[in-house]
Structure 1
Amino acid sequence: MKFNDFTFPHPVLGIGDAIRGITGFVNNPQITVLEDRYKILIECNLTNDDLNKILQEGNAEFLCEATCSNTVYRENTISDNARIEFEVPKKQVKGKVEFICLLVAKKNLLNYSNADAHPDYSGFTFDLDKGDILVFFGEFNFDADIKYEKLKAVSSFMEVVGRDDIEYTNIDLKKSKIEVQLPTNEYNIYRGDIIAQEMKFAPIFHASFVLNALLTALYNFEDNKDYLWAKALKYRLDNEDQFKNINIQDKDNIPEIAQRLLGNPFGRLLNGLNVIVESTENEE
């Protein structure tokens, strides 16, 4: 839903330039993953004097509507202050869960006007009913299919498979996970007990085909942003402090973004090789 595209018969802060004032969220909404539910924390930002007065008089309240079209889940949470906290049961949602945050009239408001309203509303007052919208703070969503608690694991967004019909490694971005496709012979070597079960080789994999596959994915991110792997990576880019000042829209940043996502794969590669060399020398 694009709530900002709606029009109202009365001025609503946050919709176009109907009312001057700052609105939105103090920080990014927080989503905490618990065993059987998601905990949501939202802090709304409101600086309009007339609306703050209505709120202080007990004539308005904060509302967050959570919906999931895949399961027909819908729940409204009401709060008397700008901090809204609630929980969403995991079993009731699947796929995209959407949230809209508003300030609404708690009771009928007669002759409502706002000193900071656009000049088009000058001289007009409005009789508002209980539940009418006063402020649109914003909307956000998350994907319940993403295992947020495991996002830093490469396996959360990438997997390696074998294919009989290819001669060289292929990267398939049209799946829920980035798929590194190896020719069957190479895949059998990769999955063999000697390599697959040896943790010392993990940094080598990350600095080689895992990094190459991730670079390919990031350079083609916009064309594949609806796939689950892209949503998982976007969540990390939007919520981790290490990505605050680095924009994926600038292609020059992509090599650094990829290395940050993988936890400095080249540094770990060199340290890993050093461990292998030292262990070999000790065995001799």
Structure 2
Amino acid sequence: MQIKNKYYPYPVIAYGNDSYDGSAFVTDANYAHDAHNIKFQLQASLTDDCLSEMISNGTVKYAHHIECQQTCFRVLVLTDKPIDEFKIHESKVNGLVQICSFLMADRDIQNYSNPSFSRDYKGFKFNIDRGCVLAIGNQVNMIINKEKEELANTSSIFSIRKNMDPVATELQVSTTGAKIVILIPEKTCNQYLNVSTTTLLPVLHAMVIQPALMQVLFELKEAAQKNELYNYDEFRWYRALRRTAEKLEIKFDEEAIASIDVFKTAQKFLDSPIMKAMETICSGDGETDD
């Protein structure tokens, strides 16, 4: 959403607009990663006593329009706080995100007048409909850079391989390389690879990736209880787990790992894959015709 200059049938506080004397509306925005979420930090500074009072009584709100064209995500955040936060899951946005901020009427306003009107509008009163813009702030364009090595992108630390042993019937997990290797019997692995390109991928994560990660966490737990975690420092997958744990505010030192809740922690690392799998199944994705 690009802010464009336009004419309004009533006074509006905006850059280059002389409808008001001495009034100003300046906004800014930033973002930070918060576990698997993006947390937008929204700021607004208003210099106008009349409109400030209308914000206090709920007639007017700060409005922040957040839009990502690549993902078609858009939302309007209404708040009465000059500094506020808005959090969304990181999957909602990717690349360029535009944030446009306004003052917006949250109720119909009859006979609106303001002592700060410029000379051209002195003595005039205006009927303002709910949703109308009363001030225009700045537009902020930001590029959301996601972590390249996130556990949601399973290829970063997991490698799915065929187990060529003809009598193998179970999944096996190896932690002796740069990645966690999941060995799957040949026929099942072919089925996995075929389904992994469909909308059923969240179901596969719950069926295959989460159990494999639980096995890895069990292995780390046993090592921690023996004071042998140092044996894993050389592995890239282990360092990735530590970085992810830090972002998720999960304690991941030797003492914490020695008593870790494997099931709960695996879900946190993978952002609740069972919930996502159930949502995928219940949404009808992957259904077959009778």
Which of the five TM-score ranges fits, normalised by the shorter chain? 0.3 to 0.5
The two structures have a TM-score, normalised by structure 1, of 0.48
Structure number with higher helix proportion:
1
